[in-house]
Each structure stands twice: as C-alpha cells, then as structure tokens.
Amino acid sequence: MAIEVRIPTILRNYTDGAKAVQSTGSTLGELFANLDSSHPGIGGRLVEDAKLRRFVNVYLNDEDVRFLGGLDTPVADGDTVTVLPAVAGGAPDAARV
C-alpha cells in the first residue's frame, strides 16, 4: 500500500531534497510514524505530544485533516497527503504564541 506524501521545502532536508515520498499506514498517525522510520527526524517536525504541530498544515487529498480526524484520519492506497508550513504571525502582543 503506498500513499504519496508531498513534502514542503523546509522539510526536504529529511528527504534528500525529494518533493514527494511514498509511505504506508492505515491512519495519518501511522503514516507519519512510518515516514519517520524511513526519514528519521521528520516525524518530530509534524507531530508533537501525539498531536499535529500547529506550524504545519496537513491535507488528505484536498481536505485539511484538522477537519477530518487529525492523526486518526484513515488513509488508503492512492491517497495524497500534502504537508505545508502554516503561514501566520502577528504583532508583538499577539496572545496566540
């Protein structure tokens, strides 16, 4: 079973520069765990305390997985998972740091 994971520029140092890699799993969490086995270190950039890190957006095909099931979202052969860095920020007194 293969699922394509599209990797943002900032994380391509974990994938030898590859824009997309293949991995497997039945949930997004499993997929990222397997991805970390083949590309050590990348998992920690995606997941923290068993949750998706807030600095990345993850999409299953066209849907933001935050609105699906987060790391429990089921994934299947032929799916494409896209990882993008969140583009966000704000003024010095922003409360949401």
Partner 1 sequence: MLRIDRAIYDEIVAHARRDHPDEACGVVAGPEGSDRPERFIPMLNAARSPTFYEFDSKDLLRLYREMDDRGEEPVVIYHSHTATEAYPSRTDVSYASEPKAHYVLVSTRDPDTVEFRSFRIVDSVITEEEVQVLAPAASE
Tell me whether residue 49 or residue 62 sits nearer to partner 1 (CB atom).
62
Q: Shortest Cβ distance from residue 9 to partner 1 (Å)?
A: 7
Residue 44: what residue type?
G
Binding site for partner 1 (CB under 8 A): 8-10, 55, 57, 59, 62, 64, 66, 82, 84-97
> Encoding tokens for residue 41?
């270190």
CA–CA separation, 5 and 35 (whole Å): 9
Give yes or no for a contact between 82 and 75, defined as CB atoms under 8 angstroms apart.
Answer: no
Tell me whether residue 34 or residue 68 sits nearer to partner 1 (CB atom).
68
Q: Shortest Cβ distance from residue 56 to partner 1 (Å)?
A: 8
> Encoding tokens for residue 4?
């394509």
